[in-house]
Amino acid sequence: MADVAGHLAGISLFRGLLRAQYEELSRIGVKRSFRKGERIFSEGDEGTGFYVVCGGRVKIFKVSTEGKEQILHLCGPGESFGEVSVFTGQGFPADAVAALPSTVLFFPRVAFSSLIRQDPALALNMMAQLSKRLRQFAGLIEDLSLKEVPGRLAKYLLYLSGRDGDETVDLDVSKGQLAALLGTIPETLSRILAKLNRLGLICSRGAQIRILDRRGLEEIGLEGKRLP
């Protein structure tokens, strides 16, 4: 129990709450662990509650009938997923699988729902979180429909390097997974990485990528581009 409470403070969904509220939450939260590749839920499963990532990484994705997958989001520690089911009561809208060995907190729908009813502040935090997610999705839709793959990759690399502030970034997922995140396939990703290397924009060695020409990468995302 105390263990659960220890995690709560780092969760954006619950930021700024009072001690009493944390105690309430820790009373209903259940810790669960998943091995790498283990499924947390499938699309259409009844939404009995929502999850928060404590450690590891969870992949949220959709699969087409032919097996192609589009990653909607990679959730790291402190991020939540499955909240939508709390309010719609419908099944989960996507699949969730542990991309790394992961531990999560599970909050049952019914218990959390009544908690929210007593506590407006909790609801406000949650709305801000949902709004943030909505904004991210709008960005993803924009990227998928307006930009081509090189632009999406460039944007992602800049995002990673911006976060770490460094010139050398580490892909925290396999290239196959990165391809799915960018809405493409491993072959295409591989070719584009090779092209960016050839142009001297980056220097990639496995999962390590050094950014050589930041300006150049930014341009790819903007204009109608041609990579020679």
Interface residues with its own copies (CB under 8 A) are 62, 64-66, 68, 70, 72, 83-84, 86-88, 90, 93-94, 116-120, 123-124, 126-128, 130-135, 137-142, 144-147, 183, 222-224
Query: Smaller CB distance to its own copies: residue 87 or 101?
Result: 87
Cα dist. 131→58, 84, 118, 214 in Å? 20, 12, 22, 30
State how far the Cα of 50 lies from the Cα of 48, in Å rounded to an integer.
7
Query: Smaller CB distance to its own copies: residue 90 or 190?
Result: 90
Nearest-approach distance from CB 203 to its own copies, in angstroms: 27
Cα dist. 195→189, 203, 216 in Å? 10, 11, 13
Interface mask toward DNA for 40-79; x: CB under 7 A: --------------------------x-x-----------
**Helix and strand numbers, DSSP H then E, in the chain:** 9, 11
The correct pick among 176, 208, 210, 218 for binding DNA (CB under 7 A) is 176
Residue of 83, 97, 58 lying closest to 134 (CA atoms): 83
Query: Smaller CB distance to DNA: residue 55 or 183?
Result: 183
Query: Which of DNA, its own copies, none sits in contact with 93, Cβ below 5 to 8 A by type?
Result: its own copies
190 binds DNA (CB under 7 A): yes
C-alpha 125: how far from chain center? 19
Q: By the 8 A CB rule, do 193 and 204 touch? A: yes
Query: Smaller CB distance to DNA: residue 115 or 160?
Result: 160
The correct pick among 65, 187, 215, 223 for binding DNA (CB under 7 A) is 187
Nearest-approach distance from CB 174 to DNA, in angstroms: 3
∠ Cα 138 142 148 (to 5°) = 150
Separation of first and last alpha carbons in the chain: 58
Rg of the chain over CA atoms, in angstroms? Answer: 19
State how far the Cα of 226 lies from the Cα of 214, in Å rounded to an integer.
17
Nearest-approach distance from CB 125 to its own copies, in angstroms: 9
Nearest-approach distance from CB 175 to its own copies, in angstroms: 18
Q: Which residues bind DNA (CB under 7 A)?
A: 66, 68, 148-150, 174-176, 183-194, 204, 206, 224-227
